[in-house]
Amino acid sequence: MGETIEKRLSDLGVTLPAAAAPAANYVPFMATGSYVFTAGQLPLKDGKLLASGLVGRDVDTAGAKDAAKQCAVNILAQVQAALGDLEKIRRIVKITVFVASTPDFTEQHLVANGASDFLVAVLGERGKHARSAVGVASLPLNAAVEIEAIVETE
């Protein structure tokens, strides 16, 4: 990989925020062996949710896709906090995308593309991952999307 992850982030106009602190009795990431597991990341930017409510009623697919991208940005912020250097990422193993959606909404996979596309744009081959996209009745803070990740490290 010729370009650094930092350069790709810069080229995309993305600055990683400080990793969010946990809001309850849990840790924001757990590093064990050669893996980092992130807690679910909400689409928070500058302390505010980018999308709230149910997708299919309060948020359209495009807005939820943007929210999923922000969740992925926040995942990288947690991984940065865990590892100190994003170049230590060997690969994103899996992401699980939770989409708060109406019962008839069936585009969770399209919402998840916001995170998947971003991770591949930033990490290249290391960003390709397995994925689950799941519709749920509600999420913390009335967020429209929440994503957790499993990351293999060097």
Q: Which residues are CB-neighbours of 46 under 8 A, at least 6 positions away? A: 17
Exposed, middle or buried, 77 (CB in 10 Å: 0-12/13-18/19+)?
buried
Say if residue 34's pLDDT is above 90: yes
> Can you give the pTM of this predicted structure?
0.97
Confidence of residue 2 (pLDDT cuts 50, 70, 90): low
Nearest C-alpha neighbor of 134 from the set 102, 104, 100: 100
Q: Where are the chain's structural domains?
A: 29-153
The model's pLDDT over 73-129, given as tens digits with 9 standing for 90+, comes to 999 999 999 999 999 999 999 999 999 999 999 999 999 999 999 999 999 999 999
Tokens of 153: 């490290």
65 close to 115: Cβ distance less than 8 angstroms: no
Q: Band the pLDDT of 23: cuts 50, 70, 90.
A: confident
The CATH H-level (homologous superfamily) assignment of domain 29-153 is RutC-like (3.30.1330.40)
